[in-house]
Structures are given as structure tokens and as C-alpha cells.
Chain A
Amino acid sequence: MSWDTGMPLLVLASSLLPGLVIFFLPEERVVTRTTLNLAGATLKLALVGVMIWGVLYGHHYETRLPILPGLDLVLRADPLSILFVALSSILWLVTTVYAIGYLEGSPNRSRFFGFFSLCVTATVGVALAGNLITFLLFYELLTLVTYPLIVHRGTEVARRAGRTYLFYTIAGGTLLLLGTVWLYTLAGSLDFTARGFLSGLDGAHHTALVIIFVLLIGGLGVKAALIPLHGWLPQAMVAPAPVSALLHAVAVVKAGAFGIMRVVYDVYGIQFAATLGVTLPLAIVAAVTIIYGSMRALFQDDLKRRLAFSTVSQVAYIVLGIAIVGPVATIGGLVHLVHQGVMKITLFFCAGNLAETLGIHKVSEMNGVGRRMPWTMAAFTIGTFGMIGAPPLAGFISKWYLGVGALDGGQGWVVFILAGSSLLNAGYFLPILYAAWFKAPPDSWPAERSFGRRETAWALLAPPVVTALLTLAAGLLASAPFSPLQWAHFITTLEYAL
């Protein structure tokens, strides 16, 4: 096995092996567990760095393992998979640091970090999948290893949220399986191919292809939390903050959105999908999700629940970018995959800090919290302005490309959706900032923990500050080499053969 064929396996193993070892570590082996966690995350990041360099200079990283006659398990690093795998690797490292601080002293940490590592392994598998069957395997693995994280606290509410999650995602997985099998019988291949592999099929199959499209998008739309398949996401916010970060930014919803990208670009091909007439309904579903998610967020007093509905809305931007046919909108969708992750993880980290340090769970409890926790709230402020789409932050870049792409593709109505969504985002985020920065703090906080002169523990504070800086950098340095935007340009060039 050469370096190029082994690289995808190495990237997978960098989180799989530490995860398996961690399962068997006794609870009190804190240092060993922490070392394994951080070493795995750092090694993965380094390997992904090498892979980015290689892909840019024409290396072909592919591992192919036969699983059934005519069906291979394929792991491949192409520009699109690199975008997702880089996002997951960077945010996994940050989330690991955060989780170490967050769970300090709590029970069942070996179990937690074991599943945590498996969750990232599954996400990387989803990202590197070279065909639909490999994608499906890791996608289902992701469902299974995320469930224990959602129910980690063991409360009745957590178990209920876990059951809901399983119900939705297994149903979604079934649809995806059905669509995949049907597609295989029809096309005889499931390999992801730039510009798709279905356009050459006989016209008689077009109706079947539309139905398969609906099945696949229905299955993927569960994890991407598209309306009306989003019900599990707001309930799952009962999970610990690092898990929320995984669900909303690194792994689960992203896997759904990424899957939709794969199906539209590398299974159907964007032009063929437009010819079949499936992109406009997808755009409409995304638009409805954007507005609906924002409107629901507007009325939530629970901070994490508000953020969860915000995710419903924001992830649909990615789908909208895919569904507007045209290179500029594609760039918008691709870049928002990264930007949404960085911004939303910042917000969930901050929500976790407020809960862990002051016992704040509701927006109505946040009066004056900016004075007590200025760094956390500064990071939160950057994240929220990014979500609103204020320049020069990451969200501005995404909305810019989506808006220009919509005009470019002759779909001006999307611009109004973006404007309405920005208004609603401002409507549910700015009151939080006003309460935090301008209202007087209460005499006492719901459940305050002292961290000496620091506002909270370093392990809790550093991650949101870092991701807030990334939010700023992704926007401000959008035209710099290796920025997410430049990488999205690179992918689009290949996808549209520009």
C-alpha cells in the first residue's frame, strides 16, 4: 500500500484508534485520555494538512476495499471531501479541548470520549466516501455513535430526545438505503463522479430518477434538518454543549448537507438535476426552511433551543446554494458549509460557558452577562453578527455569493429570502446582545461557579475565542490563498468545468 492509497485510512484511523483505546481506559486515567484525545485530533489535522497540499498539487489519494461483488468501499480525497474533512478536523480539535474542560470531574468520560472519537471517525468517513454505498455506511454509523452522546446525561428528557433522534435518523437512513439500492439497479454504479454519472441514462428512467432523488434528499434532509424533517434537532439540544457543537457544526447536520451536495453534484450532476426539474423544488424547500427556522427561533427563550432553530435556518442556506443552479451560488453553498460550522460552534461553546459558569440557560437570564463574562460574550457577539451576515464576518461572504448567485441564475426571489432571513436573524440575535451588554446584571446568577480572576476555565474560554477569530478571519481574509472561499472557487471550477 502506497502513501497515496493509505492516506485516507490513516486519516480515519487517527480518530478511530484513540477512540477504541479510550473506551477501555478507567475513569481516573485523565492524563492518558486527554493525551490520546489531543494527540489523535492533532495528528488528524496534520494528515489533513498534508492531504490538502497533495490534492492541490494533483495527488490522487484513494483507498478501495472490496465489500461485495461489484461494490467497493472507497475512500477518496477530492477537493469537495477536503473541504468537509478539513472543517471537521479543525473543529474536532477545538471541540476536544472544550469537551475536556466541560466534562472535568463528571462521570462516564471514557464512554463519552470514546463515542466522541467514533463520531468524528464516521464524519470523516462521510467526507471521504468515494461512492454512495461508502457514504451510506458511514452515514448510518454516524447515527449510531451519536445517539449515546445525546443521551449521555441519562435524564428522561435526554432519553426522549435520543429516541426522537433515532426515530428520525433511522427513518431517514431507510429512505437513503432505498434510494441507493434503486439507483444501483438502475445505473449499475454508485461512484461519485465530477458532474455526475446519470446524465447518460435512458430518458425512460427520468421519472424513476426523480423519485430516487426525492428518496435520497428525504433521507439526507433528516440530518440536514430540512422542513418538515427537522423535529429532532431542537429536542437534541438537551445534550451537553460539546455534543451540540458536534451535532450543529461539525458532524450530523453537516453530513446531511454534504450528502445533498454529493447527490446533486456528483451523482446527478447539477445540470442534469436542473434538467430533471428537481432543483427548483429543492430551492423552495430550502427557502421555506430558512424563513421557518428563523421565525421559530424568534420566540424561544431557551438559548440553546433558539440556536437550534437558527441551525435549521442556516443549514438550509447550504441547500439553497446547491439548488440555485450556477457557479456563484455553488460557491455560496460550499463556503457556507464551513462558515456556518465555525459560527455556530462559537455560539454553542458560548452557550455552554454561560450554563457551566453562571447556570444561565435562558435568554431572559442574560441581562448584563457581558460584564461578567466579556470574552465569552465578545465571541458570542462575533458569532451572532456573522450569522446576521454583517461585514466583514464569514456569514457576509456566504450571503454575498448566494445573493449574487441568485441574481446570476435569474432567481431574484432568493435575494428577498436572504434579506428576510437577515432581518429575522437580527430580530432573534440582537435582543440577546442588548440584554448582555446594555442591561444591568442581576444581584446573583442562577448557579455561579468561581474560577478566580478568570471569567471561566481556560479550556472553556479558549475554544470560542479561537472560533470567533476564525469567523472574523474567514470573512476578512476571504480572498487570501487557502481561505474557505478560495477552496470553494477551486471546487466550483472543477464541478462546472470552468
Chain B
Amino acid sequence: MNTTLSAILLLSVPGYPLLLAFPALRSRSPWPCHIALLPAVILLAVPAAFSVDLPWLLFGSGLAVGERSRWLLAMAVVLWAAAATLLRAPANQPESNHLTTFFLLTLAGSLGAILATDLVGFFTFSTLMGYGFYGLLVNGGEMAAQRAGRVYLALLILADLALFEALLIVAAVTDDLSFGAAHQAVAPSASLNLYLSMVLIGFALKAGIWPLHFWLLPAFRSARPAAALLLGGVPIATGLLGAVRWLPLGEISSPGLGLALQWLGVGAMLHAIVAGRMQGQLKMLPAYAAIFATGLFITALGAGLADSAAGSRYGDLAHLFIVSLGFGLAVLTVGIGWLAARSPDAIAPAKRAGDPAPWFERWPGAAVRWGAQMGSDTLPRLRGSWLAAAGRLWQIRAWQSALDGGERSLQRWAFAITLLLLLGVAVAFIGALS
């Protein structure tokens, strides 16, 4: 592919959503959140791996797409497209415009982090993603969402500080801040342990890894559905990706740290199982699944840090794991949302008796209600007609219930009524003969 074209394409993947984040630049675009994904979709459609160096950007930066980042990009595109469909708030609300801005800023940060080839670029994009995601969490949300946002923001700032310290450590030993060069420079340095600690703390805070998962549970509990859908694929995935890219895996063997991480990972998994089981709310299942999965990730990361040979093999697997985690958590979140909309009893089973309506009548209504809960107003007229139809169905079913009740009463007296009817028929017949 032409160098200029590939540079433009790579730059536009995070750049185009960033431009559209300005309300004035998207005022005439009916689907800005979807359109913002176009460069990423085109990039996915081009099979070649290519990169662009941007020596004028920050301290000299770059973007690249390769086999690993392609998988991550694909996951991001699917999740963001789904979230964009769910996101649209009811029209004419001021929150809607802000929400779109935060959505696009987060999108730009998330895609940029996937394509970044150096520490500073990744840090910049992940910071943008973090602050944008804070906006997604709290904008128009209730008290619980604002509380969750505050926790997330505080931890984000701490995480960024830790990562900034890590960056300074690297910059003190090398001018080349690309991932590979940074790994080689920091691996033999005297500050290696401090660097590893800062990176692990920073990304553990960003990804919500146990025991630094303070923001994760409130966020899953209070996030609006579009944000909840993105939790796995955006802040958690970006945090895990950061850990993989920043740690000098394959360059060092640190058995002590590796073992500690493995124990931490096992602790996270046990915590997820026990706390999740005790908690009992189906809605929180994705949160505990995330803690479990990130625990698993940390266990494997510990193995990779303990042995450089294992570490060099860890890269591909880690990327696949992150993709699976993003998709898995999204499916789980959607599934539980769906379950809640279809049958609230599944979420709180003791409160109501089962819905007697047949599946073909329940599911369309559930889909409409679920869409409404998600804040989706993508096809308002269609949604309106669906809701009206569902309402009519409910009315019809009320009459049906009355008739059904009458029928059940009739069934109880079926023998007597049959005899009575037969008697009536016989009387009429005899009367006719006579």
C-alpha cells in the first residue's frame, strides 16, 4: 500500500473520531458514532501490515497495524459498533450531545492505544480513553453512576501518575521510547524493579485487577448499558494490553515477582468465585467474571515474568486472551441485560410468578423494552410502533385471561354442562318430533 495512504489511514483511525468529537464537525452527520469507525473498518479490510513514523509527534511517535493488533482492532470495531447502536439517548436532551462527545473521545483513545508503537503514544491514548470513559460513566447518570465515576477518576489519576513515573524511568535510560527499544533498555537497568512495580500498579488500576479493582464493581453496577458493554473491551482490555506491551516479557526472568503475581492471580480468581457466589445478583456476574478472567491473566503474566522463555511465548496468547475477554464480557453483559428485560424474575426470582405468555409473544416485547432500557432510540418510529403493538398485545392478553378464567371455570363443570347441553338438545329434539 502507498506510504502516504497508509499513513493517512492509520492516522485517521484515532484521528477521525477525535475530529468528530467536536460537535460543530458532526452537526450534519446522522450517525457520527458509527461513521467514526469507518477508517478502522477500512484498515481491517486491508490485509497488509504497515506502520507510520511520526517523528514530529510528542517525542517522536508512531502507529502500526500487525497481526496482533488486527485482532484487537476487530474486537474494538464490533464492540464499539454495538455500543454506538445502543448509545443514542432520547433526542433533544443536552446529555445526548455530551455523551456522543465522550463516546468519540473514548473511541479515539481506545483505537489509538491499540495502534500505538511506543510508550508515550500508548500513554497518551490510554489517558484520553480513561477521561473519555469517565464521561461515559457519569454523563446523565444517577447518584450511583456519579459515585462510580468519582472512584474511577481517582484511580485513573493514580494510575497515570504511576505510569508517568515508569515513563520517566525509561526516559532516564534511553531516548528511544518504542516498545522494543524501551524493553531492551530497561531490562538491565538498576531501576527495573521500580519500573515493573509502577507498570503493574498503573495498569492494574486501569484494568481493575484484584485487589485494585475498586472501580470495577460500582461501574458494572451503575453503568448505562452501552458503557457496561464497553467495560470489558475498553478500559479492562486497554489496561491488560498496556501491561503486555510495557512489560519487558521475554527480556527478563524475575521468579520472585512472577510467583507473587501468580499467587495474586489465584487470589483474584478465588475472590471472584467466593464473592460472586455470596453476592448472588445476576447483574454483577460480568463484574466477577472480569475479576476472575483478569486473575487468570495475571497468573499467566506471572509465569511469563518468572521465565523469559515463557514470556516470549506469552505475547500472542495474551492478545488472543484480551480479545476473548472483551467479547466474552460483552456477550455476558448483553445476555444478562437481555435476560433482565425478558424476564425480570431471572434477576430477582422471588418477587413475581412466571410470565405465562408464550415465547413468541414475550420475546419481541422483551427486545423492545431492552432496547428502551439501553437508551437506544435508533429507530424511534419503529420503536414506537413496537411498543404500541406490545401494549395492544398486553390488552388482548387481558381479555384472553378473562376468557381463560371463564374457560377454566367451565372445564370444572364440563360434565354437568355437557349433560345439561345434551339434555337441552334432547328436549329440543323431542319437542321438534312431537
Interface residues of chain A, those whose CB is within 8 Å of chain B, are 370-371, 374, 385, 389-392, 397, 399-400, 403-404, 407-408, 415, 419, 422-423, 426, 430, 437-438, 475-480
Contacts and interface: CB of A to CB of B under 8 A. Distances in A.
A196 B256 CA distance: 51
Contact of A400 (B55, B169, B171): B171
Contacts of B23: 374
A371 B366 CA distance: 35
Interface in B147-203: 153, 157, 160-161, 164-165, 167-169, 171-172
Interface stretch (B43-51, B120-128, B420-428): B120-128
A422 B165 contact: no
24 contacts: A371-B94, A385-B131, A389-B164, A391-B120, A391-B123, A392-B57, A392-B124, A397-B58, A400-B167, A400-B171, A403-B165, A407-B168, A408-B172, A419-B165, A423-B157, A438-B139, A476-B57, A476-B58, A477-B56, A478-B58, A479-B56, A479-B57, A479-B60, A480-B56
A422 B164 CA distance: 11
Contacts of B146: 438
A370 B23 CA distance: 13
A57 to B, nearest CB: 22
A400 B139 CA distance: 32
Nearest to A438: B138
A390 B127 contact: yes
Given A400-B168, A423-B161, A391 B58 contact: yes
Given A390-B127, A438-B138, A415 B58 contact: no
Contacts of B58: 391-392, 397, 475-476, 478-479
Interface residue SS majority, chain A: helix
B108 to A, nearest CB: 12
Contacts, number: 66
Contacts of B167: 400
Contacts of B138: 438
B271 interface: no
A134 B316 CA distance: 65
B372 to A, nearest CB: 23
Interface in B40-72: 55-60
Contacts of B153: 430
Contacts of B171: 400, 403-404, 407
Contacts of A423: 157, 161
B26 interface: no
Nearest to B191: A407
B362 interface: no
B383 interface: no
Nearest to A370: B98
Contacts of A479: 55-60
Contacts of B161: 419, 422-423
Given A371-B94, A404-B171, A415-B168, 17 more contacts: A370-B98, A390-B131, A391-B120, A391-B124, A392-B124, A399-B164, A403-B165, A403-B168, A407-B168, A407-B172, A415-B165, A422-B161, A422-B164, A430-B153, A438-B138, A477-B57, A480-B56
A437 B98 contact: yes
Interface residues of B, number: 29
A391 B177 CA distance: 15
Contacts of A403: 164-165, 168, 171
Contacts of A426: 157
B390 to A, nearest CB: 33
Interface residue SS majority, chain B: helix
A423 B98 CA distance: 26
A438 B123 CA distance: 25
Contacts of A400: 59, 167-168, 171
Contacts of B124: 391-392
A371 B98 CA distance: 9
Contacts of B55: 479
B338 to A, nearest CB: 30
A376 to B, nearest CB: 14
Nearest to A390: B127
Contacts of A408: 172
Nearest to A430: B153
Contacts of A407: 168-169, 171-172
A478 B165 contact: no
Contacts of B120: 391
A403 B157 CA distance: 17
Contacts of A480: 56
B117 to A, nearest CB: 15
The 10 A-B pairs of least Cβ separation, nearest first, read A391-B124, A407-B172, A480-B56, A403-B168, A404-B171, A392-B124, A426-B157, A419-B161, A479-B56, A371-B94
Contacts of B157: 422-423, 426
| B127, B135, B164: residue with the most chain A Cβ atoms closer than 10 Å | B164
Contacts of B94: 371
B35 to A, nearest CB: 21
A400 B55 CA distance: 17
Contacts of B60: 479
Given A392-B124, A438-B139, A438-B146, A478 B168 contact: no
Interface in B49-102: 55-60, 94, 98
Contacts of A370: 98
Contacts of A385: 131
A391 B61 CA distance: 13
A426 B131 CA distance: 12
A422 B167 CA distance: 15
A480 B146 CA distance: 40
A112 B305 CA distance: 66
A132 B165 CA distance: 39
| B127, B131, B165, B168: residue with the most chain A Cβ atoms closer than 10 Å | B168
| A390, A422, A430, A475: residue with the most chain B Cβ atoms closer than 10 Å | A390
Given A438-B139, A478-B58, A479-B56, A404 B123 contact: no
A54 to B, nearest CB: 24
B56 to A, nearest CB: 4
A438 B142 CA distance: 11
Contact of A419 (B123, B135, B164): B164
A452 B139 CA distance: 28
A480 B58 CA distance: 9
Nearest to B160: A390
Nearest to A374: B23
A475 B120 CA distance: 12
A391 B168 contact: no
A94 to B, nearest CB: 21
A404 B171 CA distance: 6
A251 B52 CA distance: 41
B205 to A, nearest CB: 14
Contacts of B56: 477, 479-480
Nearest to B126: A391
A478 B59 contact: yes
B247 to A, nearest CB: 20
Nearest to A402: B168
Contacts of A422: 157, 161, 164
Contacts of B139: 438
A403 B161 CA distance: 12
Nearest to A478: B58
Nearest to B154: A426
Contact of B168 (A374, A390, A404, A437): A404
| A391, A397, A478: residue with the most chain B Cβ atoms closer than 10 Å | A391
A419 B202 CA distance: 14
A397 B165 CA distance: 14
Nearest to B171: A404
A438 B58 CA distance: 30
Contacts of B165: 403, 415, 419
B172 A404 contact: yes
A449 to B, nearest CB: 21
A408 B160 CA distance: 21
Nearest to A407: B172
A219 to B, nearest CB: 34
Contacts of A419: 161, 164-165
A467 B3 CA distance: 33
